[in-house]
Amino acid sequence: MKKTTEKKHKKWPRVLIGILITLVVIFLGICIYFINYGFARNTKKPDHQTRQAIEWLDKTNKQTWHETAVGNDKIKLVATYVPAAEKTNKTIIVAHGWHENSTLMARYIKMFHQLGYNVLAPDDRGSGHSDGNYLAFGWLDRKDYVKWIHQLIKKEGKDVQIGLFGVSMGGATVMNVSGEKLPSQVKCVVEDCGFSSVYQEFYNVLTHDYHLPATPILQVGSLIAKPLIGYDFKDASTLKQLKKNKLPIFFIHGDSDSFVQTKMVYQNYNATNAPKKIWITSNTEHAKSLKNHYNEYKEKVGTFFAEYLK
């Protein structure tokens, strides 16, 4: 009887260690899953309206431009340049969203083309025809966009006037760009439903959509992700960049956005002292403002750019 009791006492530590190891493996698996979910290369499928715009883009006169990523010239970047139907010195740089690319921005490109602008639409790191296995969520991309801006000035001349535009992750991208040292040719920014920080966006998704404890997952996940994505995503804050922004900026966000929560647009809006305006679109989920309010969207965005690109 004594020996049986001793065996049971010896068995329990092994069981507890086994349970602990299992929990650690599960926890690390969850962290790795969300790193891949958030940062790994992937591409959404276009909806019907986007497919129609892609058909238009396929038939439209355009060029392919090339650049290299800042800090890693082995990552080759690609962009689509669509000249205006009538020659102009005004160009909109369009930044795409999460798990998207320049082609999936076809509806926005078409809108700006109809408004008479040239359009430069890059594929970010880990997206479209650009190299890279992981997205940079608009953080490292901000410096890549500065290179695209300088290339645009070099090709179009010093008289070019540039507006920045982005949706979702692209909205965060152009807000991040706004805090960099930019040439005087960059005149203004329009951002649509961009997040206020990468960390906070993941925190919201983990707690709101998956009902998981976000803090330990993000703390460990940031350590695992850093060598893959090239930075600590806890450092990536549009709020810090917007505090340095001097460009006029137009904030757009849907009132029913639960993916990038609507409260983030107010955080972004309050972070800058530059000339600014805000439009909260009614009955609108994430990145659906153009779809739900097309005519008003085109008019408001077109008017804003026309005010500053003269």
Average pLDDT over residues 19-27: 79
**pLDDT at residue 1 tops 50:** no
Find the length of the chain: 310
pTM for this one? 0.92
- Predicted pLDDT at 50: 97
- Give residue for tokens 């960059």: 186
pLDDT band for position 120 (50/70/90)? very high
Reported as type and span, the H/E element at residue 173 is helix 169-178
**pLDDT at residue 196 tops 50:** yes
Measured between alpha carbons, how far is 245 from 269 in angstroms, rounded to an integer?
11
**pLDDT at residue 4 tops 60:** no
How many contiguous H segments (helices) and E segments (strands) does the chain have? Answer: 11, 8
| Residue 87 burial class via C-beta count within 10 angstroms: exposed 0-12, middle 13-18, buried 19 and up | exposed
62-116: per-residue pLDDT in tens?
999 999 999 988 999 999 999 999 999 999 999 999 999 999 999 999 999 999 9
Measured between alpha carbons, how far is 136 from 139 in angstroms, rounded to an integer?
6
| Segments forming the whole domain that contains residue 183 | 47-197+236-308
Beta-strand (E) ranges in the chain?
Answer: 63-69, 72-82, 90-95, 118-123, 161-167, 186-192, 249-254, 276-281
Average pLDDT over residues 255-262: 97
209 or 194, which is more confident: 194
On whether residue 33 sits in a domain, the answer given is no
Whole-number percent of the chain with pLDDT over 90: 81
Measured between alpha carbons, how far is 80 from 64 in angstroms, rounded to an integer?
5
Average pLDDT over residues 49-66: 97
On whether residue 22 sits in a domain, the answer given is no
On whether residue 69 sits in a domain, the answer given is yes
On whether residue 2 sits in a domain, the answer given is no
**pLDDT at residue 301 tops 90:** yes
**pLDDT at residue 9 tops 70:** no
30-40: per-residue pLDDT in tens?
888 888 888 99
On whether residue 225 sits in a domain, the answer given is no
Q: Chain-wide mean pLDDT for the chain?
A: 93
- Predicted pLDDT at 266: 98
On whether residue 61 sits in a domain, the answer given is yes
Q: How many domains does the structure of the chain reveal?
A: 1
Q: Could you tell me the CATH number of the domain that includes residue 121?
A: 3.40.50.1820
**pLDDT at residue 295 tops 90:** yes
Average pLDDT over residues 149-177: 98
On whether residue 136 sits in a domain, the answer given is yes
On whether residue 11 sits in a domain, the answer given is no
pLDDT band for position 6 (50/70/90)? low
37-51 in b/e form (b: 16+ CB < 10 A) is ebbebeeeebeeebe
